Structure formats: structure tokens, C-alpha cells
Amino acid sequence: MRGMDWLRGVLRGARAERVLEPALALLMASLALLGQIGYVHHDVFALWLDLVTCAASALGAFRPKEGPWVFLAVLMAYLFVPEGWVTFGELAVLISILGMGIRGQKRSRMILTPLMLVIVVFRSTGGKFSLTPMAFWILAFAAAWLVGDAFARSRAAQRQAVEVALMGQRTRIARDLHDVVAHDLTNVALRARQALVLGTQDPDDLRYIAQTASKCVDDMRNLMRLLRSTGGADADGRSWLEPDVPSTLAAQAQRLRTAGFKVTAHVEGPLEELTGTVPHALSWILIEACNNVLSHGDSSQPCTIFITSSTTVIDLAVINGVAGSHLSLRPGRLGIIGMQERAGAAGGNLTVTPHDDKWIVKAEFPLRSYSMVSDRS
């Protein structure tokens, strides 16, 4: 069972493009070997030619530019095969046609397909006109061509869907950053107006204005970086609300317990004073990590959530048991990419690590101290 789960994980996404051709070539080589063994007048040279041809058909998966041309060079050897040889390697030509279609090598396929078709038809007919072999090879080439195109269209649609979803995630992150900056600037304006009305020059007011303004500069840089990567942000006019990290932690822990998970939450250090982009990112990553626990976690194993806060850094770790069928997940999946971008937008970083039968999500955010001196530097 775990072997099948591993195979599904290997064949998922872009890896299929690297595995499919070698797998088909191996199958074709096995058929060639069995065919030669079962044939009474088998020839060892014919067998070696078939095996080399099958290996050449798999080369395109690793060397896309050179592979099809190398295969054509090997395939030309069949033009000089004695009539008494029985070979099966010509069928590997379908693997090369299929591979070029999967990778979207339209120009190479347009050039090489007619040449390959002439070679295999000449080999099958012995240079004489015969309708049946010609019809077989034309239909086989057309089938390989169409299947390769269908696979390429499917992969392109998947990539486009991922890009659209990632753009939506970046837009939401940019919107949150915009809300944070707007909130901080509003507080700066209110604090400055209060000082003007009261006619005071309280150092605390000046320090607050300097620190908050410096923080806004960093947040705006992150915001502009996201806007440049997405082309715009979708401001929907919603009101800004500072997340309550302890409440979010309690709600997510209860949510997992309701689903049957054994959850333990540990908090060290103060969380109530967090402001700006960090609590937004921390809460969002916590919710997304718990979503993954619900989707892929093993409820029979314990789930632990750690949040550690100090004067310089805040850490989040979510550790849960995962069924073996989901340990093939890799940090390139869409939800994980979203968490990594959310952490990066707040100045932190996120790592996802499978370990034995555990899945560990760890985020770290530096809590910077802003000042007029650091801002000038």
C-alpha cells in the first residue's frame, strides 16, 4: 500500500515528465528481451540494438534538446539491419514522439516525426509498398502525437491554476499589509494631533511616532514588493482588525479537538502586545497549518502547537502525526508556498519538514526594535 502511495507521489505533477519515458522504455526493453528469448532464431545483435534503442528513447527525459536527435541517430541503424533479424525496438519511436509532445517540443517534433516515420515504415516493408504496415505506423504515430498534446495541455492548465491561486494569495497578503500600514499611520496621525492640541513635547510621543513610522517604511517595502510581483492589490474596503493570537490559538486547538485530535498547546512569553504584520502572519499560518492537520493528519497521534515569544523573536511550531500516504508531500505544494510567502512578507521565514511519521511546520519572526537612528542608517 505504501508503495502505491509513493508511486502516486512520484507521478504527481512535473515529476511525471521525468519518469514516464524511462518507465515506458524499460517496459519496451522487457518486451524486446522476452520477444527475442521466445523467438527460435533470435539474434544477440538484434537484442542489443533493441536495448540501445529503448535506452535512447528514455534519454529525452533527461536531455530534452539532444535526446530526440540521439534517438533518431540510433533509429537509423534499423535501415541497415539484415532481413533475417527480428527486432522490436522500432516501437520505442512512439516513446520519443510522446515525450516531445509532453514537453511541448513542437519544432523538434515537426522535424523529426516524418524522418522517424520513413525509417520505421521502410524497415517494416523492406522498401516495398505495403498498405497495412504503413497504416499501422501512421495510426500509432498519430495516437502518440495526440496523447502527448493532451498531456501537455493538462500540465499547462495545472500550472495556470497554481499561478492564479498564488496570485490570489499574494493579493490577500498585500491587502493585509496595506491594512496594517494604514492602521499604523492613522495612529501616528492621532498621536501627533493629540500632541499638537495639548501643546506638549512628550518624548514618549516622539519615540512612538519615530518607531511606528520606521516600521511603516519596512511594511511598505514588503507591500510594494508584493504589488510588483502581482500587478496590483485587491482592496475590498474591509475594516482592519488586529488579530488576537491567543484567541486564534485557542480556537484552532478546540477545532482540532472537536475533529478527534489530541492537541496540546504550549505558549511561552507574552503574545498580547504583538502589533503590525507579525500577528497577521502568525495567525494566518497557524490556521493554515491546522487546516493541513485536519486534511492530512493522523488523529490517533498527538498534535502539539508551540508558540514561544521573547523580546527579539517569536516562534511557531506545529507538530502532528501524518499517515504514511501523505508523507510524500513536498514543500512545493500551494498551501505551503502560501505560508512561506506570508511569513516572508512579515520579515520571517517558514520551514516544513517531514520526520519519520511526523509533519513539522516551523515559523520564525524577528521582533525588531525601531528607532530614529536605525531608520537613518
More confident residue, 193 or 328: 193
Strand 262-268 and strand 302-309: pairing? parallel
Whether the per-residue pLDDT at 8 is higher than 70: the answer is no
Q: 319 forms bridges with which residues in the sheet?
A: 304, 360
Whether the per-residue pLDDT at 254 is higher than 60: the answer is yes
- Write down the pLDDT at residue 264: 92
Confidence bin at 311 (pLDDT 50/70/90): confident
Question: For residue range 70-99, what is the model confidence (pLDDT) as tens digits?
Answer: 999 999 998 888 877 778 888 899 999 999
- The CATH label, of 3.40.50.2300, 1.10.10.10, 3.30.565.10, 3.30.200.20, for the domain at 245-374 is 3.30.565.10
- Write down the pLDDT at residue 114: 92
- Write down the pLDDT at residue 364: 92
Confidence bin at 236 (pLDDT 50/70/90): very low
The domain locations on the chain are 2-129, 165-239, 245-374
- Write down the pLDDT at residue 1: 43
3-state secondary structure the chain: CHHHHHHHHHCCCCHHHHHHHHHHHHHHHHHHHHHHHHCCCCCHHHHHHHHHHHHHHHHCCCCCCCHHHHHHHHHHHHHHCCCCCCCCHHHHHHHHHHHHHHCCCHHHHHHHHHHHHHHHHHHHHCCCCCHHHHHHHHHHHHHHHHHHHHHHHHHHHHHHHHHHHHHHHHHHHHHHHHHHHHHHHHHHHHHHHHHHHHCCCCHHHHHHHHHHHHHHHHHHHHHHHHHHHHCCCCCCCCCCCCCCHHHHHHHHHHHHHHCCCEEEEEEECCCCCCCCHHHHHHHHHHHHHHHHHHHHECCCCEEEEEEEECCCEEEEEEEEEECHHHCCCCCCCHHHHHHHHHHHHCCCEEEEEEECCEEEEEEEEECCCCCHHHHHC
What's the whole-model pTM score?
0.49
CA distance 309 to 268: 6
Strand 349-355 and strand 358-366: pairing? antiparallel
Question: For residue range 270-308, what is the model confidence (pLDDT) as tens digits?
Answer: 876 676 678 888 888 898 888 888 888 888 889 999 999
* Residue 304 neighbours by CB under 8 Å, 6+ apart: 263, 264, 265, 266, 317, 318, 319, 320
**Most confident option among 155-164, 189-198, 279-288, 327-336:** 279-288
Whether the per-residue pLDDT at 150 is higher than 80: the answer is yes
Average pLDDT of every residue of the chain: 77
The pLDDT of 55-72, averaged and rounded, is 90
- Least confident among 150-164, 174-188, 263-277: 174-188
Whether the per-residue pLDDT at 354 is higher than 90: the answer is no
